[in-house]
Structure 1
Amino acid sequence: MYMMNYLQTLSSEKFQKLCRTTHESFEKLVSKIQADKAFQNSSQNKQLSPAIQLAVALSSLRSNGNGDALGKIGMLFGISHGAIVLYTQRVTQILMKLKHKVILLLTIEKPREMSQVMQAEGFPGCIGFIDGSLIPLSQRPPNNGEAYFDCKKR
């Protein structure tokens, strides 16, 4: 209960940094997933609320996946590394089951509109771009791992 109160008192900016979504979108998502059977068990050990599990999963997905990031998430929510992995897998599976209800797909008009903007900016045939942010990997991929360096050789 403490964690729910804590999440609700976070400023919009801090909440968005933690969960990568707004309070309003978070609440809508919770309302769509909370009835899923995966959140119910017959064990004596009660699960954390679907809202907390969603917050943990979103925080985990926004991290770079290394032990340090997961350790910080664990300390914040007072849970183990294994619980973080479990909640992230559980929420991801539920979202995939409900993808048509919770994931907004682009309409055919949006890419066309973006293409026109990009064309006007000098990028013909492009519908978007990435801002240059780097996503650090906690470990290199097993195949051709030596090829995964950025301009700073990280």
Structure 2
Amino acid sequence: MVRFYQRKACIKALEAALESKMTVMAIQGILGLDEDISSGSEDGSSDEDEYDMDWEEIDDLLIWLHAICSEQYFGPRQTLEQPPAIHDYLMNKLEASRFKQEFRMTRLAFTKLCAWIRNDTVFQNNSHNPQRPIEEQLMVALKRLGCFGNGASVGMLARFFGVGEGTVELYTNHCIMAILRIKTQIIQWPSPEDRKEIKADYAEVGFDGCVGLIDGVLIPLAECPSKNGSDF
């Protein structure tokens, strides 16, 4: 859904008004109308007053535009009380099956993925303020990618992890960029020996001759599978 930003809309409207007013006055200058105003003719006083009002209006528009652009936020900010940090509990205390439910991978796979992307430049700042640990950023990203519908709401995830809504989007972008940069190291066509093994595994479940499947269709199941049933 497209968001409406009142500050951005005001800036756009002021810039359009300035452009329109300056265009009109420029046309008047090209046509020599401003010279007629300053020539001192009998009826030039009213035109001169109108000319001065035009410049006053431009000054007012510039003042308003500068005032709005000088402030990052259009209205007063509301300070929200942050909940206690949850990352340590999720990483070190949550039992393995529930960790997999939350982040759609085992804790071991999560740790390996962190090691793969830890040194990516996207997690390094050119300042004295380091970023939050990669584990925290990846938790936010995986939770967001693993949710469906309203569960993936940025606001809900921000409150769950105790971070800002913009931080949720920032962490997600960081992790996606880092993961994409290692794709050629991870995703490779299997060797002949691996293909034989993969084909044999798929043949056991009724897909003879397959070495891989890609399908984005959600299929409702009457009963959960006996293996990793909690994931379904």
TM-score interval (norm. to shorter): 0.5 to 0.7
**Which amino acid in 2 is paired with 1:107?**
P
For 2:180, the equivalent position in structure 1 comes to: 96
The SS at the match of 2:190 is coil
State how far apart, in whole Å, the 2-side matches of 1:28 and 1:123 are: 30
For 1:10, the equivalent position in structure 2 comes to: 94
Relative contact order, higher structure (CA 8 A, sep 6+): 1
Q: Which runs of 5+ in 2 are unaligned?
A: 1-83, 221-232
- Residue 115 to residue 51, structure 1, CA distance change in 2 (3 Å): same
Query: What percentage of aligned pairs have identical amino acids?
Result: 30
Written as runs of structure 1 = structure 2, the 5 A alignment for 1:1-150 is 2-7=85-90, 8-42=92-126, 47-64=131-148, 66-70=149-153, 71-101=155-185, 103-105=186-188, 107-108=190-191, 109-116=193-200, 118=202, 123-127=207-211, 133-134=218-219
State how far apart, in whole Å, the 1-side matches of 2:178 and 2:100 are: 21
**Highest CA radius of gyration, 1 or 2?**
2
Output one character per residue of 1:47-89: Cα deviation in whole Å (capped at 9) or x when no partner. Answer: 321111111111111112x344334322221123332222112
**Which amino acid in 2 is paired with 1:85?**
E
Conserved? CA contact 2:145–2:152, under 8 Å:
no
CA-CA distance at 1:27 after TM superposition: 1.5
The TM-score with structure 2 as length reference comes to 0.46
The TM-score with structure 1 as length reference comes to 0.65
Q: Which has the higher helix share?
A: 2
State the aligned residue count.
132
Conserved? CA contact 1:57–1:87, under 8 Å:
yes
